[in-house]
Amino acid sequence: MKTVLSTCPYVPPEWVAAHDLRLRRFRPGDARSAAGLAGGAGVCPYARDVLRAMEAASVTEDTAGVVITTVCDQMRRAAGLLPGTDSRPVLLMNVPTTWQTPAGQQIYVSELRRLGRFLVSLGGRAPDDRRLADTMVAYDQARFALKECRRRCSGSRFSRLLAEFDEQGPGVSFSPSASGPADAVKLALVGGPLWAEDAELFEIIESLGGNVVLDATTSGELVMPDAYDRSHLADRPLEEMARVYGRIPDAFRRPNRALFEWLGRELAARGVQGIVFRTCLWCDTWVAELVRIREGFGLPVLHLDVDGATPGCRTRISGRLQAFMEVLR
C-alpha cells in the first residue's frame, strides 16, 4: 500500500486509510551530522530532522507523498525547504490556530477536503460516508484499547506502543506489560515532539527510579484524539472528524487554555509528583509556556532544553534528572 508521511497529529490517519492509503506518522531519527536539507538554516533541530527523514524516505521507500502542517513557523519554513517532486509531492496543510470558533472548524474541514484531493492525486480513492465512518470506528476502537493499556504499562513501554500505532495503524496488538514499580517517582513529560531515539529518555528515567505516568508531549497522549460521538458518524462523518481532531490541545492553539485544562486534569488524576518540561532549541512555541507550567500546577518542574534526541545529550540530562528525582523522593 502506498504510504504518506507526516509527523503532525492533526493529519488524521483514518482519513488517509479511508482513501486506501497508509499514513506513516513517524518520529524522526537524530540527523544532526547528516548532509542535505538536514543542514538547512532557519529551522529548529526537530524540523531539520523531519526534513532529513522525509528526504531519505522518499528515495528508499514506497512514499507516495508528504504532508507538512502549519503548526509553527519552523514547520512552514521546513515545507519551503522540501520542494515537491513528481515522485514525492508535498502538501502544506493549514491547521487553524483558533479552534473554538465555527470559522476555525470550517477552515479545518476545508483543509481535510483539500488533503482528500491530494490523496486522490496520489492514487487514493475518495471514500463514501459509510466507508469513512467504518474506518473512523476502527481507529477509535484501537485508540480505546491503547488508552486502556496505559494504566498497565510503564512509561517506556507505552511510548513504544504509541510509536508503533502511529507508524502502523490499528493492526498493532496492544498487549499490556508490567507497569513500573509501585514506588517509582511519578513524572509527567511535557513539551514538543519526540525523536525516535527518545525512547532512551524514558529508560533513563526508569533507571533512576522514576516512571513517566503521563506523556504530555506532542508525540504522546496529549495529542491522542477523544472518542468519536457515534451518533454523528452516520450522516456527517467528516465534520465529526474535524470536531474531534480540532480539539486536540497544543501549545500553538489560541487560546491555549485547553492545554492547561487537560494538563490540570491529567496531572491530578495520575498523582504526578514532578514535571519534566522538555523543549527543543529555538522552539518558541513551547518555551513561552514555561512560566505558566511552573506556576500553574504547584509541582516541581525540571526544564530540559535539547538540541536533538536523548543519546546526543545523555550525559548532560542524566545528571539533572538524577538531582531532580532526589529532590522528589
Contact pattern from residue 187 through residue 226 relative to ligand SF4, giving x for each residue in contact according to CB under 6 A and a dash for the rest: -----xx---------------------------------
CB of 287 to ligand SF4, least distance (A): 9
User: By CB under 6 A, which span of 87-95, 168-176, 282-290, 296-304 interacts with ligand SF4?
Assistant: 282-290
Distance CA(51)–CA(37), nearest Å, equals 7
C-beta contacts of 107-116 below 8 A and 24+ residues apart:
108/10, 108/242, 108/245, 108/246, 109/238, 109/239, 109/242, 112/12, 112/15, 112/238, 112/241, 112/242, 113/238, 115/11, 115/15, 115/67, 115/91, 116/15, 116/19
Q: What is the DSSP string of 194-210?
A: --GGGHHHHHHHHHTTE
Q: Give the nearer residue to ligand SF4 in terms of CB position, either 187 or 287.
A: 287
User: By CB under 6 A, which span of 43-51, 121-129, 144-152, 167-175 interacts with ligand SF4?
Assistant: 43-51
For residue 195, give the C-alpha cell.
525523536
For residue 164, give the C-alpha cell.
508503533
Distance CA(215)–CA(149), nearest Å, equals 14
Question: Among 8, 18, 37, 44, which residue sits at the site for ligand SF4 (rule: CB under 6 A)?
Answer: 44
Q: Give the nearer residue to ligand SF4 in terms of CB position, either 75 or 233.
A: 75
In which residue are the cell numbers 510503564 written? 154
User: By CB under 6 A, which span of 27-35, 42-50, 162-170, 229-237 interacts with ligand SF4?
Assistant: 42-50
User: By CB under 6 A, which span of 44-52, 56-64, 92-100, 227-235 interacts with ligand SF4?
Assistant: 44-52
User: By CB under 6 A, which span of 41-49, 98-106, 111-119, 294-302 interacts with ligand SF4?
Assistant: 41-49
Q: What is the separation, in whole angstroms, between the first and last Cα of the chain? A: 50
Q: Give the nearer residue to ligand SF4 in terms of CB position, either 69 or 154.
A: 69
CB of 5 to ligand SF4, least distance (A): 15
Question: Among 8, 51, 75, 267, which residue sits at the site for ligand SF4 (rule: CB under 6 A)?
Answer: 75
Report the Cα 143 to chain-centroid distance in Å: 14
Size of the site for ligand SF4 (CB under 6 A): 13
User: Which of 191, 197, 249, 189 lies closest to 215, judged by CA?
Assistant: 189
User: Which of 200, 174, 175, 201 lies closest to 187, judged by CA?
Assistant: 201
Contact pattern from residue 150 through residue 189 relative to ligand SF4, giving x for each residue in contact according to CB under 6 A and a dash for the rest: ----------------------------------------
Residues within the interface to ligand SF4 (CB under 6 A):
44, 46-47, 71-72, 74-75, 192-193, 280, 283, 285-286
